[in-house]
Structure formats: structure tokens, C-alpha cells
């Protein structure tokens, strides 16, 4: 029996083509295995072999989801694979979405074992964890030395048809799938044991983990709007016509900072949306529907508010990683503090 044929999917960065400036790279088969695929192949050992690597730019895949999936699937299929691995994509949002999407497509179309790897806060993890196995990694490529061996260990277990244990045992992200099994102790006793450990300050593992959400203390309400300087920020992707900074339609790797000087109204000639998560027609016809500059100018003239800050900040919220969202918020917030802005109107879609 020969080695199990494995196909590897990676983005333009790990293929050594380039970074963000090459994110529009079209799908293709690498002429030679890139270093990450060589490393993966070495770790797979004697029973599995990487027979090909398919590469696609993150922006290209996300902006052409259906056609890119079909193109990449065709290339993968040409190798007659018996196993498929994507990534790891760590906390790179668009890479994670692409890796998750193509892993799901391969599983459904070719009916072979598949897996990918990414950081738990990668938007791709939340989107695809119920569909495919996603090995949990650190948030950056600095964790590659641990990520690849962890993925290979799990891949070998999948390939051999062994019974897959719990997420904690195997290292994959929880899928939200409940499995019935018989426990040697009754639930009532286990609950009391956990309670006693909690009271004593001892470590215990809950059987029903709850999601963790940030709790942000709201600021005090403004007492007098007529003395307030108001700024507008949006995750709805409103940008000057032509999207000069090429903000991505999803999983944005940047935000834009643009002037409102001279604009009392955002028209289809001056502004549009870069967002790929909603129907852009009405936002493109009148960007004020997402970023209400026209109404705010009226409120300034009426004396309801003192001033509209002449710079707005924008990005696309769909698929953007939590880490990037926090980073953008901190940077934008500090800039608005320096500009003595009293309040922000944050609009979405």
C-alpha cells in the first residue's frame, strides 16, 4: 500500500509570493512545494505525502468565493487526493475564511478526510467549526513550530480512522456538537463536586462552558449636545469613490481615514461602499444611508450640535478578526481623543 496522497492549500504569503500587495493572486498549483509544504511533508512521515500545493490570494478568494472555490477544487481534484489540509491561517481573517471555505467544499465534494488550523478568534473558526475539524493554533505564525506538528498528529488520527476524542483531548476547536456517553458518576454528584472545588478555590473543568464576551462600561451621557463635537465612524465600508486605499470587502486588514471638508451630502459621484456583506446598491446610490453626513450637517446648522468632526473613519466589519477590530478601535479612539471629539456615532450595516 502506497503513501496517502495529501494536497495542501496555502495563501500568497506562505507561498512566498508576497504580502498584502499580492493578495489578488489567482488560484494556481505551485511548481515546487513551498517551504511550509515541505515542512508539512516531512512531519507527515512515511505513511502520508504532500503531492501538491494549491495557492490562492486571500483577497481574490474572498471576493470571488464561489468561482474561486470551484477553481481551487478543480486543482485539488487533479491530484486524486486522499487527504486535504489547509493552512494553518492563525489569526489572518481572510486566509481563515478561505481555508475554512475550501476545506468544507473539499469534504463535501470529494468525501475525503480534511482539516485546517487557525486561532480561535479567527472569523473563519466561528464560520466553519461546525462543518470541519479546525485545529486550534496561536494567533500568529510565530507559533508555526507548534501548529504544524499538532495538525499532523490529528491528521494521522483522522487518516487511520481512529475514534476522535473531545476537543480538549485532540486539540481542535469546539464544534458545538453534543455527544451522548455514559459517565461512571451521576450528574448530581459531579455538579456537587465541582461546586465544592469552586468554593475551595480549587481547579475544576465545567461540563458546559459559556461564551466569554467583553464587558465595556458605557460612558456618561452628554449633558449638552449643543456644545458637542461629534465624529462619525463606520464598519459599513463607506469610502471615497474608487476605494483609494483598497479596503477589503471582508476580513479587512486596514481602516480608512478620510476628510469630510466640503461635503454636505455623500452622493454616488463622491462615495461608495467597499463592504461585501450586504447589498451595496442603496449605499452606493446614497452613502448618507450608512454614514449620515447630510443629517449631521443639518443638525450643526440648527444648533443641535456644535460641530461635526471633519474626518471620518471606516472599515468593513464582516469577517474582520477580533484582534484587528480592537486594534482599529484603539487607534481611531486615540486619534479622536486628540481631536477633542466629545462623542462618536458608530454606524454599521
- pLDDT surpasses 80 at 114: yes
Query: How do residues 206-234 score in pLDDT, each as one tens digit?
Result: 877 777 777 888 888 999 999 999 999 99
In the prediction, which pLDDT does 182 show? Answer: 78
- pLDDT surpasses 90 at 20: no
| Mean pLDDT across the chain | 92
- pLDDT surpasses 80 at 87: yes
142-164 average pLDDT score: 93
Query: How do residues 166-206 score in pLDDT, each as one tens digit?
Result: 888 889 998 877 777 778 888 899 999 999 999 999 998 88
In the prediction, which pLDDT does 219 show? Answer: 85
- pLDDT surpasses 90 at 9: yes
Instruction: Give the model's confidence band at 255: pLDDT under 50 very low, under 70 low, under 90 confident, else very high.
Output: very high
The 10 Å CB-count burial string (b at 16+, else e) for 164-189 is eeebeebbbbeeeeeeeeeeeeeeee
Query: How do residues 119-145 score in pLDDT, each as one tens digit?
Result: 998 989 989 999 999 999 998 899 999
In the prediction, which pLDDT does 215 show? Answer: 81
Domain regions of the chain by residue span: 4-170, 225-347
18: how many CB neighbours lie within 10 A of its CB? 12
- pLDDT surpasses 70 at 1: no
Query: How do residues 266-324 score in pLDDT, each as one tens digit?
Result: 999 999 999 988 889 999 999 999 999 999 999 999 999 999 999 999 999 887 777 78
Task: Please give, one letter per residue, the 3-state secondary structure of the chain.
Answer: CCCEEEEEEECCCCCCCCCHHHCCCCCEECCCCCHHHHHHHHHHCCCEEEEEEEECCHHHHHHCHHHHHHHHHHHHHCCCCCEEEECCCCCCHHHHHHHHHHHHHHHHHHCCCEEEEECCCCHHHHHHCCCCCEEECCCCHHHHHHHHHHHHHHHHHHHHCCCCCCHHHHCECCCCCCCCCCCCCCHHHHHHHHHHHHHHCCCCCCCCCCCCCCCCCCCCCCCCHHHCEEEEEECECEEECCCCCCCCCCCCCCCEEEECCCCCCCCCCCEEECCCCCCCHHHHHCHHHCCCHHHHHHHHHHCCCCEECCEEEECECCCCCHHHHHHHHHHHHHHHHHCCCCEEEEECC
In the prediction, which pLDDT does 322 show? Answer: 79
Q: 4-170, which class in CATH?
A: alpha beta
Contacts of 151 (CB under 8 A, 6+ apart): 40, 85, 87, 88, 115, 117, 135
Mean pLDDT is lowest, of 47-51, 149-153, 157-161, 172-176, for 172-176
- pLDDT surpasses 90 at 33: yes
Instruction: Give the model's confidence band at 346: pLDDT under 50 very low, under 70 low, under 90 confident, else very high.
Output: very high
Amino acid at each position: 500500500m502506497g503513501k496517502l496522497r495529501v494536497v495542501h492549500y496555502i495563501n500568497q504569503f506562505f507561498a512566498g509570493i508576497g504580502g498584502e500587495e499580492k493578495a489578488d493572486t489567482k488560484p494556481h498549483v505551485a511548481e515546487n512545494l513551498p517551504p511550509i509544504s515541505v515542512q508539512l511533508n516531512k512531519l507527515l512521515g512515511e505513511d502520508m505525502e504532500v503531492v501538491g500545493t494549491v495557492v490562492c490570494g486571500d483577497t481574490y478568494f474572498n471576493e470571488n468565493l464561489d468561482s474561486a472555490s470551484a477553481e481551487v477544487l478543480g486543482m485539488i481534484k487533479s491530484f486524486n487526493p486522499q487527504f486535504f489540509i489547509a493552512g494553518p491561517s492563525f489569526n489572518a481573517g481572510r486566509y481563515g475564511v478561505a481555508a475554512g471555505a475550501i476545506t468544507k467544499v473539499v469534504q463535501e465534494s470529494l468525501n475525503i478526510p480534511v482539516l485546517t488550523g487557525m486561532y480561535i478568534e479567527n472569523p473563519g473558526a466561528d464560520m466553519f467549526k461546525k462543518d470541519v475539524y479546525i485545529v486550534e493554533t496561536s494567533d500568529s505564525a510565530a507559533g508555526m513550530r507548534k501548529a504544524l506538528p499538532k495538525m499532523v498528529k490529528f491528521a494521522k488520527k483522522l487518516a487511520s480512522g481512529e475514534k476522535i476524542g473531545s476537543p480538549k483531548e485532540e486539540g481542535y476547536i469546539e464544534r458545538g456538537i453534543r455527544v451522548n456517553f455514559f459517565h461512571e458518576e451521576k450528574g448530581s454528584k459531579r455538579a456537587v463536586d465541582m461546586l465544592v472545588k469552586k468554593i475551595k478555590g480549587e481547579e475544576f473543568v465545567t461540563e458546559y462552558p459559556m461564551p466569554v464576551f467583553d464587558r465595556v462600561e458605557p460612558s456618561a451621557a452628554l449633558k449638552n449636545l449643543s456644545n458637542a463635537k461629534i465624529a462619525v465612524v463606520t464598519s459599513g465600508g463607506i469610502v471615497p469613490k474608487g476605494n483609494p486605499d483598497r479596503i477589503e470587502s471582508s476580513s479587512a486588514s486596514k481602516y480608512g481615514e478620510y476628510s469630510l471638508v466640503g461635503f454636505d451630502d455623500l452622493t454616488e459621484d463622491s462615495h461608495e461602499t467597499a463592504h461585501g456583506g450586504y447589498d451595496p446598491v442603496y449605499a452606493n446610490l446614497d452613502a448618507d444611508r450608512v454614514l449620515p453626513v447630510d443629517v449631521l450637517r443639518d443638525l450643526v446648522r440648527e444648533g443641535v450640535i456644535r460641530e461635526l468632526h471633519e474626518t471620518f473613519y471606516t472599515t468593513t466589519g464582516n469577517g474582520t478578526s477580533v484582534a484587528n477590530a480592537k486594534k482599529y478601535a484603539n487607534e481611531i479612539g486615540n486619534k479622536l481623543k486628540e481631536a477633542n471629539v466629545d462623542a462618536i456615532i458608530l454606524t454599521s450595516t
